[in-house]
Amino acid sequence: MRKTLWALTIMAIFLIPSLAMGMDVAVEITGPQELMSLKEGVATTITTRCISRGIPLERYAKLAVAISRLGDVISYDALLETSPPRAFHKDMKDISALSATIDEMIGVIFAENGAAGTAPIPPSIPAAAEGSGAKIKLPFIPTSIAAIGEKLFVSDAKTVYMLTREKASPVWKARGNNEILRIYPHGEALIVLARLMDGFQTFLLQGAEIKERWNKAVIPVGSGLVSSTLRFDRVFSPSFYQWTDPSQVMGSSPQIPKDFDILCAIAADVRTSSTGPEVISYDASDRLTISDGRAALWTDADSTSITPLFIDEERKSGSNFDGDLPARYYLKPRILNAGVRIITFRNGQGAAGMVSRLNVFESAQIIAYSPAGEEFSREVLENFGGSYCVDIAIVQGKAAAVIVKDKSASVQFIGL
């Protein structure tokens, strides 16, 4: 065992440049001298094995490993600095189990990179995305798309998939009556927003594991997570619904103005004259708006469109509005930023837009807003006739748009 670890240490000295390691592996060992002498070898072999599996160590800050003898067993504990932290523990009978335990630890603690087999390791980008205008067909009607680094995730109403080489591989399935509306990247994790009757449930996923669950909408904004609740109000709200004031759940986020659409809110630095990141979303009139958290800095002249996804208020028999159509909230187009540009989309309904609740679409546009002095100019990057857009993501400098036409769906890539 000691010979194996020593050989790996010598190989690492000559073969692994220190700058490529990225993650700091800190190992502390307490116990007999035979165990303590393995300290340097354990640290080096962890780094070596992670690199050999293609784990991007530059994405992580520190992995702390503690090995100690407790009575008749050797306790192996590992803690990876992420938000939230990831941990691993195992009791070993003797030192001979150390190598297998290290492999097991890597498989568990870096599960989202495919080390544990919960999801395959994708190529840097799906092959069809290598050129603008390419597309990948989907075997289901999607609800959302999100990118974590070079990995693409797509969802339908019940399942989150990873998109690899034109194949959608299931990663996680929603249970019960939850229906997936939108997925968001949050560091190395995924936020899954689901509809449950007339409310939301939100899940924080690490690989295929649920790390957190909330009975409300929880959305990443900036480096933190914020929450809000959708309230339907036919008496005092002209739009029949409004979002409660957002509250911080985790990390730090800029202040989101009142009446901003929470589900589309992002923090981005798109104005050169501003001293910090702005908050971008849709205002009470459904117009794209840039705010410093206190006042609107710029508002688009036109209101946005809708997506086919929505939530209806739950009707109670005998209520004042019994017999009326339920009040409805439609999800609006996602907003992203690429440098100083704002990327979003619009769905055209034509004459069908004049008829309430008629979810008929005749076109989709992928749109970029670019700074023009203190204003922003609008440019159509791509038109899709006879289609509608469900959601967009940005991966490797391209917009990945989920387009539905008739009963077929695809991810289409547009150069930015």
Q: How many domains does the chain have?
A: 2
pLDDT tens per residue, range 39-57: 888 888 888 888 877 788 8
- Looking at the fold, whether 17 and 89 belong to one and the same domain comes out as yes
Strands 24-30 and 62-70: parallel
Taking a C-beta distance cutoff of 8 angstroms, is the pair 124, 150 a contact? Answer: yes
Taking a C-beta distance cutoff of 8 angstroms, is the pair 259, 278 a contact? Answer: no
Confidence of residue 220 (pLDDT cuts 50, 70, 90): very high
Question: What span, in angstroms and rounded, lies between the C-alpha atoms of 186 and 107?
Answer: 21
Average pLDDT over residues 161-173: 86
Nearest to 259 by CA among 239, 274, 234: 239
Q: Is residue 359 part of a domain?
A: yes
- Looking at the fold, whether 26 and 144 belong to one and the same domain comes out as no
Taking a C-beta distance cutoff of 8 angstroms, is the pair 225, 253 a contact? Answer: yes
What is the percent of the chain with per-residue pLDDT over 70, rounded to a whole number? 81
- Looking at the fold, whether 374 and 285 belong to one and the same domain comes out as yes
> Looking at 73-77, 86-90, 344-348, which range is the least confident one?
86-90
- Looking at the fold, whether 78 and 138 belong to one and the same domain comes out as no
- Looking at the fold, whether 232 and 287 belong to one and the same domain comes out as yes
Confidence of residue 188 (pLDDT cuts 50, 70, 90): confident
- Looking at the fold, whether 20 and 50 belong to one and the same domain comes out as yes
- Looking at the fold, whether 104 and 144 belong to one and the same domain comes out as no
Q: In what order do the strands lie in the sheet with 287-291?
A: 266-268, 278-282, 287-291, 296-303
Q: Which residues contact 291 (CB under 8 A, 6 or more apart)?
A: 257, 260, 278, 279, 280, 297
More confident residue, 281 or 17: 281
- Looking at the fold, whether 136 and 79 belong to one and the same domain comes out as no
Give the model's pLDDT for residue 71: 79
Place of tokens 């909408």: 217
Domain span at residue 18 reads 2-113
Q: Is residue 385 part of a domain?
A: yes
HSE-up (13 A, CA, CB side) for residue 233: 11
Q: Is the pTM of this model over 0.85?
A: no
Give the model's pLDDT for residue 1: 47
Q: Torsion angle of alpha carbons 204, 207, 208, 213, nearest 10°? A: -10
pLDDT at 119 over 60: no
* Side chain identity, residue 168: A
- Looking at the fold, whether 92 and 145 belong to one and the same domain comes out as no
Average pLDDT over residues 200-225: 92
Domain boundary among 113, 143, 169: 113
- Looking at the fold, whether 142 and 265 belong to one and the same domain comes out as yes
pLDDT at 303 over 70: yes
Q: Is residue 314 part of a domain?
A: yes
Q: Is residue 295 part of a domain?
A: yes
Q: Is residue 217 part of a domain?
A: no
> Looking at 102-106, 257-261, 387-391, which range is the least confident one?
102-106
Q: How much is the CA Rg of the chain, to the nearest whole Å?
A: 25
Place of tokens 């490529």: 20
- Looking at the fold, whether 135 and 87 belong to one and the same domain comes out as no
Give the model's pLDDT for residue 269: 86
Q: Is residue 211 part of a domain?
A: no
- Looking at the fold, whether 250 and 370 belong to one and the same domain comes out as yes
Q: Is residue 164 part of a domain?
A: no
Domain boundary among 113, 141, 174: 113
More confident residue, 133 or 349: 349
Place of tokens 């939100």: 202
Strands 224-228 and 266-268: unpaired
Average pLDDT, the chain: 82
Confidence of residue 10 (pLDDT cuts 50, 70, 90): very low
CATH number at 15 reads: 3.30.160.100
Strands 199-206 and 209-214: antiparallel
Average pLDDT over residues 374-390: 94
Give the model's pLDDT for residue 360: 82
Q: Is residue 198 part of a domain?
A: no
Strands 341-348 and 336-338: antiparallel
3-class secondary structure, 16: coil
